Amino acid sequence: MKKLINDPADYVEEMLDGLCQAHPGLKCVGEDRRAITRAAPIREGKVGVVSGGGSGHLPLFTGYVGEGLLDACAIGNVFEGPTINSCQDAIEAANGGAGVLCLFGNYGGDRMNFEMASEFAAINNIETRTVLGTDDIASAPIDEAHKRRGVAGLIFAYKTAGALAERGGNLDAVEAIARKTGERTRTIGVALSSCQIPGAAAPNFTIADNEIEMGMGIHGEPGIWRRPIRPADELVDEMIAMLLAERPADSERVSILVNSLGSTPFEELFILFRRAKQQLETARLTVVRPLVGPYVTSMEMGGASISLCFLDDQIEDLLSAPADCPFWRMG
């Protein structure tokens, strides 16, 4: 798999340098320059919202640093979690004196390093809370939802938590809305082709040209089945059925994200969205604020994911609030 890179060892640093030069509202901070924050200092008294994870998923994670979203983000090597130091740097950069919410996917290395960074933050009198993204329904059954991975649906929690923090919500309230949004969000993905980490000798996984895998994770974690490729409508019908099986009883309105995992083009995403919207309306759900595009990728992986955020009045209001980052603008 060909890549437009220099030395693979410099991949992350050169990417971050280019990101911040292209978007002057961002800057790198910390000794190892692996935390991205807003160029403008955080407002005194504002709750900070921080995330983090491995490179290779842009716009996730660093691409969502901006007004109404994240205040700072720690970034690791490709498909590797951020270090304790970069997590500390992100928390410190997001500290406005009102506490910091750490909001990231449910992966072991990320949890461990953010937990230790939060302990160091407490020594410096920075209060932190943690909310994990657990939206990937393929990664564990509903009765073990706490074990599920966090994937594309995490950005809905970024949006609601970021909006409430921007409005002046306290740490308890920002934590609560992030948790509620996560609990009302579900994602399922389908992979068509693999990706390759810069400098690696081979792709992350192999899949035949005539095959497709349902439920594969964004790092190539095994899915729930691998079969010959089928028409898009049939795949969407199955994906929506799985997502609606966990529909909250009070849901009448839903926001949908049809997301490219890297190389799947907009044209194919709109074919998927078209069918998904039909199925949601058949299920008597009103579609609000649809998102279609590469919001959470996995290098050049082929495939797509569908996320549903089952709305209530508070979540819908916060999803509509102004936001401004390099990859997502509202209002």
Q: Check 23, 38, 46, 57 and give the catalytic one.
A: 57
Query: Alpha carbon 265 to chain centroid distance?
Result: 19
Residue 248's SS3 state is coil
CA-wise closest residue to 84 among 50, 104, 48, 109: 109
Phi and psi torsions of 53, nearest 5°: 170, -170
pLDDT of residue 159: 98
pLDDT mean for each 10 residues of the chain (331 residues): 94 98 97 96 97 98 98 97 97 98 96 98 98 98 96 98 98 98 98 95 93 93 95 98 97 98 98 98 97 98 98 98 97 89
User: Could you tell me where the beta strands, DSSP code E, fall in 67-114?
Assistant: 72-78, 100-105
Which H or E run includes 192?
Answer: strand 185-193
Instruction: Write the CB contacts of 2 (distance below 8 Å, at least 6 apart in sequence).
Output: none
Q: Check 219, 258, 273, 285 and give the catalytic one.
A: 219
AA letter at 286:
T
Structure tokens at 77: 């090597």
Other Cβ atoms less than 10 A from the Cβ of 18: the count is 10
Task: Find out whether 298 and 40 touch, Cβ atoms under 8 Å.
Answer: no
pLDDT of residue 61: 98
Q: Kindly tell me the sign of the dihedral angle through the C-alpha atoms of 231, 233, 238, 242.
A: positive
pLDDT of residue 220: 86
Structure tokens at 14: 């050169």
CB-based burial label for 6 (10 Å; 0-12, 13-18, 19+): exposed
Q: How far is 100 from 91, CA to CA, in rounded Å?
A: 7
- Please say if 219 is a catalytic residue: yes
For 293-311, letters b (16+ CB in 10 Å) and e give: ebbbbbbbbbbbbbbbbbb
Instruction: Write the CB contacts of 211 (distance below 8 Å, at least 6 apart in sequence).
Output: 226, 227, 228, 229
pLDDT of residue 73: 98
Structure tokens at 128: 């932190």
CA-wise closest residue to 93 among 71, 68, 125: 71
- Please say if 146 is a catalytic residue: no
CA-wise closest residue to 298 among 188, 184, 151: 151
What does pTM read for this prediction? 0.97
Dmax (CA) of the chain: 56
